[in-house]
Chains A and B, each alone.
Chain A
Amino acid sequence: MEKYLSIPVTDKGNQLVSCNSILSIYSDSATATTVVITYKSGTTATITSADQVNYDMRNQIQNEVALALATGWTNVSREVSPVKVVSGIVVA
């Protein structure tokens, strides 16, 4: 069952990010500007925004992933309204 978050990114439209095969969702600190989704393969998707407040972006991404995976199989994409404007999502 493929699931995606559809996240608006400045000057890039809505970017699809996978909710499958995730190993971890991590931020360095409560105010970090990045949330890193690490997949089981080692591939990472780094979501960059303004400074977080008490891990608010990380928590939101975690919640959105969980909610996406909890929906039926025909609900493939979940629109996210980020608590912080997302300036970029880089896969590495």
Chain B
Amino acid sequence: MIMEKFLILPNLPVVLGTASAPVPLSNGTTDGTADGFLVDTAATFFTDGVVADDVVVNITSGGVTTVLTTPTVDNANLAITNTEEGFFASGDKYRIMLAADANKLVGSGTSFTSDVSVGDVVLNGNKQEATVVTVDSDTQLTLSAPIISTAPAAPDADSYYIYSEGDNDGDVLLPITGIADVEYIGVGVEIITYIDQTGAGALNSKTIAHTDDGSLYDFHNALTSAIVNAYERQWKDVSIPLVLPSGMRILAVV
């Protein structure tokens, strides 16, 4: 008799995809510093239509501020509301969003009104978090922070993962019977390979993508410990929850 065991992988995304908006008014990389200013000598803020109160995101640090005064020419330092020393360091990536768009997430082909709830957590591709403030329509959400944008391409801000803590909270069962090997592939990726193959010479495996490890093997150790623990329990304990390291989330299981 084979003892079947499963891990309950907690809280996978209920919706994930690539946002089609908001599109930033401007984005780039700073090449100088001045307190109270965004310095980018290659920028064209006036031409781009940047105006006072637009939202300025320091992508590198995660800091958010606003445009203090509307620029009147290109190639000038942009005055920002935050005058804190070092808010922008030289080489920081930034984007500037229309104030009304800054906290939006626009999807396509989505069913946000049925799949998403106020309070759900949204992660962007750069693993920054916000929560859903309102579900505006099937294709638009308003978030608590400006974490979604179609540009710049890197670091990735247009991918999104939405997590729910409600009844439909995205838990999945992962079979752990007949595992041949559990391998740490690299930061954020783990592969479980099963002894039985799907066909002649075709490996049967599951790849788990997750947010970056705080220390390198946090997720790997949690996963392997949970598998071992599952088999240390009685046969009737079939489904055992995987307790994720603090702050970590699973992005996908394929």
Contact = CB atoms under 8 A, between A and B. Distances in A.
A86 interface: no
B178 A91 contact: no
Interface in B157-188: 176-184
B229 to A, nearest CB: 8
A25 interface: no
A91 B183 CA distance: 9
B3 A1 contact: yes
B160 to A, nearest CB: 30
B216 A76 contact: no
Interface residues of B, number: 30
Most buried by A among B178, B182, B197: B182
Interface residues of A, number: 27
Interface stretch (A28-36, A39-47, A48-56, A58-66): A39-47
Contacts of B5: 2
A76 to B, nearest CB: 4
B228 A91 contact: no
Interface in B178-232: 178-184, 193-197, 200-201, 203, 205, 216-217, 220-221, 224, 227-229, 231-232
A57 B3 CA distance: 31
Secondary structure call for the B interface: mixed
Contact of A74 (B3, B221, B232): B232
Given A13-B216, A42-B201, A91-B203, A18 B231 contact: no
Given A4-B228, A13-B220, A74-B232, A21 B195 contact: yes
Given A76-B232, A92-B203, A16 B179 contact: yes
A77 interface: yes
Contacts of A16: 179, 181-182, 224, 227-228
A15 B181 contact: yes
29 contacts: A2-B3, A2-B177, A4-B227, A12-B220, A13-B217, A13-B220, A14-B221, A15-B181, A15-B182, A15-B183, A15-B184, A16-B179, A16-B181, A17-B181, A18-B180, A20-B178, A39-B180, A39-B195, A41-B196, A42-B197, A43-B196, A45-B180, A45-B181, A74-B232, A75-B232, A89-B181, A91-B180, A91-B193, A91-B203
